A = this chain, B = another copy of it.
């Protein structure tokens, strides 16, 4: 049995989803020879820390009520201090990232690597904005920095490329990379809703955030394009290199006109063109996915075109990618 110590930074929706899976799959992981032990859970105002393993059931219960600070292992030590003091193998960086500087994830990831800990993250901005620096740091320290969950949620795009398409050179990658905009555009086609009404419905269902600007304006998709460009096509792309056009100006009339001609409008992130823009997609094309699904087309020199469709968001679904990275790293420890 391999004992792996984890630190979880960020105990929001994703972090709690990861811990729920850990509790539910303890036996399954043991059958794989893995004993995953969480030694710290860090939130914005303090942390739950225990070298012998955090009481996770209690943490989930309290966090659900917004009372994690009542946990018996709670102290108001900040995440950066905890990362400095704790001894662990892998840090899961699961905070939401600021689009300007990628903080606080950028600092968390950098310090974890400096301290000699592997990093798994679902946090896009730090990876998109500091790709080279963080990779060079990980390389220098001979550590893994993995972020399958940051692109496409549950869809294993990066790991598929790395582990299943080894002989291939990737020629292009593009697709529907944002669930919120896809939900909105799908509802416009299917239910004849205006963009505003579809967006309100998405907010009520918790699919869209209260301020969904980053999704609607294509910023979220552009971050994913940067990550895909740098990791799959070995480009050296900066966020500012991406031409971005969101879906804010898409009218119901445009959607219905497209439909009449056998097309749908989808927000497409295109890696080789370094572009995010609404495009017409034939109704029977595999990228025409409904609801909040994501779909990615990978064009490679040997396998040809491959399309992956799946859940681009959701705490449980995204955990699949986070565990894929954790299990890979654990295998090498």
Write out the residue numbers on chain B whose beta carbons fall within 8 Å of the beta carbon of A167: 21, 25, 28-29, 319-320, 323-324, 327
Interface pair B311/A305, CB less than 8 Å apart: yes
A160 at the interface (CB under 8 A from B): yes
Write out the residue numbers on chain B whose beta carbons fall within 8 Å of the beta carbon of A316: 302, 304
Minimal Cβ-Cβ distance residue in B for A318: B303
A179 at the interface (CB under 8 A from B): no
Instruction: Report how far A304 CA is from B156 CA in the complex, Å.
Output: 12
Write out the residue numbers on chain B whose beta carbons fall within 8 Å of the beta carbon of A286: 286, 289, 295, 309
Instruction: Report how far A314 CA is from B302 CA in the complex, Å.
Output: 10
User: Beyond A283-B283, A284-B290, is A303–B154 a contact (Cβ under 8 Å)?
Assistant: yes
Interface pair A164/B159, CB less than 8 Å apart: yes
A307 at the interface (CB under 8 A from B): yes
Instruction: Report how far A289 CA is from B122 CA in the complex, Å.
Output: 31
Write out the residue numbers on chain B whose beta carbons fall within 8 Å of the beta carbon of A317: 302-304
A288 at the interface (CB under 8 A from B): yes
A245 at the interface (CB under 8 A from B): no
Which residue numbers of A lie inside 8 Å of B, CB to CB? 21, 25, 28-29, 32, 154-156, 159-160, 163-169, 283-284, 286, 288-290, 295, 300, 302-311, 314, 316-317, 319-321, 323-324, 327
**A28-B169, A156-B160, A307-B307 given. 19 additional CB < 8 A pairs?**
A25-B167, A29-B167, A154-B303, A156-B165, A159-B164, A163-B163, A163-B164, A165-B320, A167-B323, A283-B283, A283-B284, A286-B289, A302-B317, A302-B320, A303-B321, A304-B310, A305-B311, A307-B308, A308-B309
